[in-house]
């Protein structure tokens, strides 16, 4: 009753229309009313608009984003451009904090803050942050419609660009909220770009940018930012909420792509998921030529009645890095980006209504408008840094269904059955290009020991290894031991556990050159798919199952029309004993610093170490070629 009185006052004060109030009341959800009331009172917008699933409402968001100059139309039909502040071009890790109550577990891997202190700080900053602006009340789904996987997402924002982006990235959810029957089983996200300046309007008070994740309430509060990685709470910020929820229930939230593998000569599609740290081949694997993509970033997994783990993509679009997307290397994406459809560019150069980005494969103009403003080639910012024609982290936002290789099962409420999982890192000297796990626990181990080496693109020393279990370390909000135990428990629910594969596209020879070609990954993926179907035998080794030469030779010819030499095979799949033992030592040191790491992890690590040492003693050398493994 209290909330109905509050909303009556809003109507009386012309803050919200009676029509929009009726949309809220129709949900019959006291928690929704409570949240909207709390943050309208706090943020003090001049207008509140409730957006349902109707075409009229969603079109209003898109049109208003252009009319208020958050986006501008481009020459190609349906294309728009958005600019973030020059100082708001990437995820703000320093000011992204997970709020943890006193005495609760605090992950050593992420930025945390006392919950009471954090709420006091951000709620103070958000007081009046929407003054003079319109607040949109949005409803989305994380996952397909009418699905057991789906989690509802309530969004309040004063950015029409954010709301428009979410319409491309997520399924509409107003009707899903009606079906909650008053339940509070949903996440919610409060965002404000804060005070705006300039033309186009960008966030002014960057020094007060805050992105706080409140696990206790299942919410994200974010203010004084526009860049989607900070403002679209439904993406990586919601990943933390879902990891917390999944690991306290009986399912998995993972940093996975979902790929439909279609080997030549076989009339079948086999679904895989996969996790790779940044710059380790995740996107290029998800977009392999001739295969189907279901998702490129985040997946929910549940055990299913057929005995398999089923996975869904929580999104229906891509918020992708546009740098180096070109017609030669990324023909599917490039075609979508250069033909009429609804899409949003961000932070690229525009001249005469045409967008230009770094690595596009065409010459760019020497002047135009970009994330800095009016731009001329060679200009520098106030700190003397050269302003590139487009930002290196410039993005595109597009509907997945606009890609010709998108799998229609993207919208299947039952998800897709997962037969295999890939875990890959950047490793110059240790792991072979592809290894299959011996069993489920060993597969978890392969995911848990992912490492990625720093490159010249990263400040600091090159070749420094960073561990990233399941490529998820930056988002873990539960103890690492609990996370691994939950994986083990999840697998034991299944009649058909996924087969797990480790991949490494960055192995180098003694001359320092890469041993893998750019497209070789297709062969490793197709071999793995064949292993899940029993098409190929494999060589047993202390680190897992390795491919046989003849199978790879045939696959290179069939899939890539390339000859694959026995010399290349030997160099790629020789076990480098000392390097493998060093890796195990690094993992032991890391995991001993964590509490309650499950016994199976140590069992696998110690057995692998003992087997490698025994092999080293038996052969009296540091490198063991695949044919010698049959003698064990």
Q: Structural domain boundaries of the chain?
A: 2-69+89-246, 253-313+411-629, 319-402
Give the C-alpha separation, 140 to 162, whole Å: 13
Decide: helix, strand or coil at residue 199: coil
Closest CA to 297 of 472, 139, 111, 453: 472
Q: What is the residue-averaged pLDDT of the chain?
A: 95
Tell me the two tokens of residue 90.
Answer: 């990437």
Tell me the two tokens of residue 479.
Answer: 């103890």
pLDDT tens string 482-524: 999 999 999 999 999 999 999 999 999 989 999 999 899 999 9
pLDDT band of residue 198 (cuts 50, 70, 90) is: very high
**pLDDT surpassing 80 at residue 223:** yes
Contacts of residue 198, defined as CB under 8 A and 6 or more positions apart, other chains included, come to 373
Any bridge partners for residue 270, and if so which? 261
Per-residue model confidence (pLDDT) at position 126: 98
Decide: helix, strand or coil at residue 469: helix
Question: Exposed, middle or buried, 461 (CB in 10 Å: 0-12/13-18/19+)?
Answer: exposed
pLDDT band of residue 555 (cuts 50, 70, 90) is: very high
Tell me the two tokens of residue 366.
Answer: 């020497």
Give the C-alpha separation, 323 to 283, whole Å: 13
**CATH number for the domain running over 253-313+411-629:** 3.90.228.20
Tell me the two tokens of residue 540.
Answer: 């047993």
The count of other CB atoms within 10 Å of the CB of residue 267 is: 6
Tokens 């029309």 sit on residue: 561
Q: What is the dihedral of CA 291, 292, 296, 300, to 10 degrees?
A: -130
Phi, psi at residue 516, to the nearest 5°?
-105, 135
| Catalytic annotation present for 280 | yes
Question: Exposed, middle or buried, 528 (CB in 10 Å: 0-12/13-18/19+)?
Answer: buried
pLDDT band of residue 456 (cuts 50, 70, 90) is: very low
Give the C-alpha separation, 234 to 232, whole Å: 5
Residue pair 387/372 in contact (Cβ under 8 Å)? The answer is: yes
Phi, psi at residue 80, to the nearest 5°?
-130, 165
Per-residue model confidence (pLDDT) at position 571: 97
Give the C-alpha separation, 610 to 378, whole Å: 58
| Range 359-383 average pLDDT | 96
| Range 233-259 average pLDDT | 96
* Annotated catalytic residue, options 135, 141, 280, 406: 280
C-alpha angle 174-64-400 in degrees, rounded to nearest 5: 55
Torsion sign across C-alpha atoms 338, 340, 343, 347: positive
3-state secondary structure labels for all residues of 37-98: HHHHHHHCCCEEEECCCCHHHHHHHHHHHHHCCCCEECCCCCEEEECCCCCCCCCCCCCEEE
**pLDDT surpassing 50 at residue 459:** no
Residue pair 361/99 in contact (Cβ under 8 Å)? The answer is: no
In CATH terms, the fold of domain 2-69+89-246 is Phosphoenolpyruvate Carboxykinase; domain 1 (3.40.449)
The count of other CB atoms within 10 Å of the CB of residue 376 is: 11
Per-residue model confidence (pLDDT) at position 462: 62
Tell me the two tokens of residue 39.
Answer: 């943050």
The DSSP 8-state label assigned to residue 122 in this structure reads H
Tokens 């026995």 sit on residue: 566
How much of the chain, in percent, has pLDDT values that exceed 90?
91
Per-residue model confidence (pLDDT) at position 427: 93
Strand 196-197 relative to strand 252-254, pairing: unpaired
Q: Which helix (H) or strand (E) holds 584?
A: helix 577-592
How many CA atoms lie within 13 Å of 210's alpha carbon, on the beta-carbon side? 22
Tokens 């995740």 sit on residue: 282
Torsion sign across C-alpha atoms 399, 401, 405, 407: positive
3-state secondary structure labels for all residues of 374-431: EEECCCECCCCCECCCCCCCCEEEEEHHHCCCECHHHHCCCCEEEEEEEEEEECCCCC
Q: Annotate 245-281 with DSSP letters as a single string.
A: HHTTTTSEEE--EEEEE--TT----EEEEEE--TTSS
Tell me the two tokens of residue 191.
Answer: 């965002």
Question: Exposed, middle or buried, 341 (CB in 10 Å: 0-12/13-18/19+)?
Answer: middle
Per-residue model confidence (pLDDT) at position 278: 83
| Range 464-478 average pLDDT | 91
Give the C-alpha separation, 342 to 123, whole Å: 35
Contacts of residue 434, defined as CB under 8 A and 6 or more positions apart, other chains included, come to 501, 502, 503, 504, 524, 527, 528, 546, 547
Tokens 């009649």 sit on residue: 495
| Range 171-177 average pLDDT | 97
| Range 37-62 average pLDDT | 98
| Range 212-233 average pLDDT | 95
Give the C-alpha separation, 146 to 156, whole Å: 23
Bond into 200 cis (ω within 30): yes
Decide: helix, strand or coil at residue 92: coil
Quickly list H helices, 44-90: 55-67
Give pTM, 2 decimals. 0.95
Tell me the two tokens of residue 426.
Answer: 């950047």
Strand 171-172 relative to strand 151-157, pairing: unpaired
Per-residue model confidence (pLDDT) at position 563: 97
Q: Which residue has better confidence, 528 or 4?
A: 528
Contacts of residue 363, defined as CB under 8 A and 6 or more positions apart, other chains included, come to none
Residue pair 453/188 in contact (Cβ under 8 Å)? The answer is: no
Per-residue model confidence (pLDDT) at position 505: 96
Closest CA to 470 of 437, 491, 445: 445
Residue pair 397/346 in contact (Cβ under 8 Å)? The answer is: yes
pLDDT tens string 388-426: 999 999 999 999 999 999 999 999 999 999 999 999 999
Give the C-alpha separation, 20 to 209, whole Å: 30
Decide: helix, strand or coil at residue 301: strand
How much of the chain, in percent, has pLDDT values that exceed 70?
98
Closest CA to 324 of 357, 297, 356: 357
Q: What is the length of the chain? A: 632
């Amino acid at each position: 009753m209290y909330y109905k009185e509050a909303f009556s006052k809003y109507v009386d004060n012309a803050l919200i229309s009676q029509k929009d109030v009726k949309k809220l009341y129709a949900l019959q959800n006291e928690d929704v009313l409570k949240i909207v009331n709390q943050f309208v009172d706090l943020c003090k917008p001049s207008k509140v608009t409730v957006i349902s699933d109707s075409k009229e409402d969603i079109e209003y968001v898109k049109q208003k984003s252009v009319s208020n100059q958050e986006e501008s139309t481009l020459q190609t039909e349906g294309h728009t451009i958005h600019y973030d502040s020059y100082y708001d071009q990437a995820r703000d890790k320093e000011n992204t904090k997970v709020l943890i109550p006193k005495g609760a577990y605090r992950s050593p891997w992420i930025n945390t803050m006392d919950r009471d202190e954090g709420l006091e700080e951000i709620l103070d900053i958000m007081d009046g942050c929407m003054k003079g602006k319109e607040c949109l009340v949005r409803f989305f789904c994380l996952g397909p419609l009418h699905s057991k996987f789906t989690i509802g997402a309530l969004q309040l924002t004063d950015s029409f660009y954010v709301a428009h982006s979410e319409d491309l990235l997520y399924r509409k959810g107003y009707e899903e909220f009606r079906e909650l029957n008053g339940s509070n089983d949903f996440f919610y996200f409060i965002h404000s770009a804060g005070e705006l300046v300039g033309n186009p309007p960008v966030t002014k008070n960057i020094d007060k940018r805050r992105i706080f994740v409140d696990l206790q309430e299942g919410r994200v509060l974010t203010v004084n930012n526009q860049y989607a990685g900070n403002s679209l709470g439904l993406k990586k910020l919601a990943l933390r909420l879902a990891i917390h929820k999944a690991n306290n229930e009986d399912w998995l939230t993972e940093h996975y792509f979902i790929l439909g593998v279609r080997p030549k000569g076989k009339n079948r599609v086999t679904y895989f998921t996969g996790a790779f740290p940044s710059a380790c081949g995740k996107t290029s694997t998800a977009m392999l030529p001739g295969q189907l993509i279901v998702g490129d970033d985040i997946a929910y997994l549940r055990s299913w009645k057929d005995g398999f783990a089923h996975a869904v993509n929580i999104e229906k679009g891509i918020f992708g890095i546009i740098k180096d997307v070109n017609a030669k290397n990324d023909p599917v994406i490039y075609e979508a980006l250069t033909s009429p459809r609804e899409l949003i560019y961000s932070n690229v150069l525009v001249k005469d209504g045409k967008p230009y980005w770094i690595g596009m494969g065409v010459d760019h103009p020497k002047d135009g408008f970009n994330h800095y403003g009016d731009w001329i080639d060679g200009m520098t910012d106030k700190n003397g840094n050269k302003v590139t024609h487009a930002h290196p982290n410039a993005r595109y936002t597009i509907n997945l269904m606009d890609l010709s290789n998108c799998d229609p099962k993207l919208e299947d409420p039952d998800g897709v059955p997962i037969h295999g999982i890939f875990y890959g890192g950047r490793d110059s000297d240790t792991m072979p290009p592809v290894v299959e796990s011996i069993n489920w626990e060993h597969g978890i181990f392969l995911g848990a020991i992912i490492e990625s080496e720093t490159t010249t693109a990263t400040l600091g020393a090159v070749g420094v290894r960073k561990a990233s279990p399941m490529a998820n370390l930056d988002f873990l909000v539960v103890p690492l031991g609990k996370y691994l135990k939950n994986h083990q428990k999840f697998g034991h629910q299944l009649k058909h556990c996924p087969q797990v594969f480790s991949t490494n596209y960055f192995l180098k020879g003694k001359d320092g050159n890469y041993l893998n070609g750019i497209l070789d990954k297709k062969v490793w993926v197709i071999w793995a798919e064949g292993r899940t179907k029993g098409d190929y035998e494999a060589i047993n080794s202390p680190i897992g199952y390795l491919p046989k030469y003849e199978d790879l030779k045939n696959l290179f010819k069939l899939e890539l029309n390339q000859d694959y030499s026995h010399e290349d095979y030997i160099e790629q799949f020789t076990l480098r004993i000392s390097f493998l033992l060093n890796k195990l030592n690094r993992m032991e040191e890391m995991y001993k610093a964590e509490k309650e790491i499950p016994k199976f992890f140590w069992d696998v690590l110690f057995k692998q170490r003992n087997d490698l040492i025994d092999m080293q003693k038996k052969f009296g050398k540091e490198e063991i070629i695949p044919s010698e493994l049959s003698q064990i």
